[in-house]
Chains A and B, each alone.
Chain A
Amino acid sequence: NAGVTQTPKFQVLKTGQSMTLQCAQDMNHNSMYWYRQDPGMGLRLIYYSASEGTTDKGEVPNGYNVSRLNKREFSLRLESAAPSQTSVYFCASSVGTSGNTIYFGEGSWLTVV
C-alpha cells in the first residue's frame, strides 16, 4: 500500500546547489501538490498540478520549479538552493482539487547550509 512516495527522505545541500525532489502516487489521482512545513508557519502550498499536463503556483512558489512528468509523478526542483529553503517538504495527491481528501507522502527533510 504505497500511496504517495517521495524521495529523498533527507538531504543536505550547500547554498547554490540544485536538486530535485521526486514524488509518485499510485492511487490514479488527478491532482498533486507540493507543500513546505516550517516551524511557526504551518503548511504552505508551493505548487500544485490540478491534472496531468498542468501546473500552477501556490502560496510560496519563488525559488522552485515543478514538473508533472505523467499522471503518477510530480517533481519539485530547487535550481539554486538558499538557507531559507531549509524545510520539510511534503508531496500530496487527491482525486481532484475540490472536496477530496488529500493524501500525503512521508516528507523530505532538506537542509541548506
Chain B
Amino acid sequence: GDSVTQMEGPVTLSEEAFLTINCTYTATGYPSLFWYVQYPGEGLQLLLKATKADDKGSNKGFEATYRKETTSFHLEKGSVQVSDSAVYFCALSDLAGNNRKLIWGLGTSLAVNP
C-alpha cells in the first residue's frame, strides 16, 4: 500500500542554518503531496503542497519539489528561525485528493536554537 517515510528527528539547528527534512513515498499512480506543520500547543496546519510531478510548493520561506523520479518531496528552508521550531509532517493523498485516505509520515521534530 501507499506509504510515507520521513527522516527521524529530532533535528537541532542553529538560527540561520539551512534545513532539509527528507520525505520519500511509495504510491500507485500520482498522489498529491503535502507538508503540514504543528507548532507547540497547536494543531497541524498546511504548510505547502504539490499536486503533480515537478510542482514546487512554497510558503513562509519553505519549499518542496515533487520529484517523481526519486519519489521524494523534501522540505527545505534556506535560513531557519527560532520560530520555525515545530514538528513537520509529510503526507500524501491519492490522485483524487481524497482526504479520507491521507497517508501521514511520523513527523520530524525541529528545534532551532538562537
A residues near B (Cβ < 8 Å) are 4, 31, 33, 40-45, 48, 50, 56, 58, 90, 92, 94, 96-107
B residues near A (Cβ < 8 Å) are 32, 41-46, 49, 89, 96-100, 102, 104-107
For A40, the chain B residues whose CB sits under 8 A away are 106
Cβ-defined contact, A104 with B44, below 8 A: yes
Query: A42-B106, A42-B107 are known contacts. Are A97 and B43 too (CB-CB below 8 A)?
Result: no
Cβ-defined contact, B100 with A45, below 8 A: yes
Q: Given known contacts A4-B43, A43-B104, what 9 new A-B pairs fall within 8 Å (CB)?
A: A40-B106, A42-B104, A42-B105, A90-B43, A98-B97, A101-B46, A101-B49, A103-B45, A104-B45
Query: Total A-B pairs in contact (CB under 8 Å)?
Result: 58
Cβ-defined contact, A106 with B105, below 8 A: no
Cβ-defined contact, A107 with B43, below 8 A: yes
For B44, the chain A residues whose CB sits under 8 A away are 43, 90, 92, 102, 104
- Cβ-defined partner of A105 (8 Å) among B43, B89, B105, B106: B43
User: Considering only CB atoms, which chain A residue lies closest to B99 in the complex?
Assistant: A97
- Cβ-defined partner of B99 (8 Å) among A41, A42, A98, A106: A98
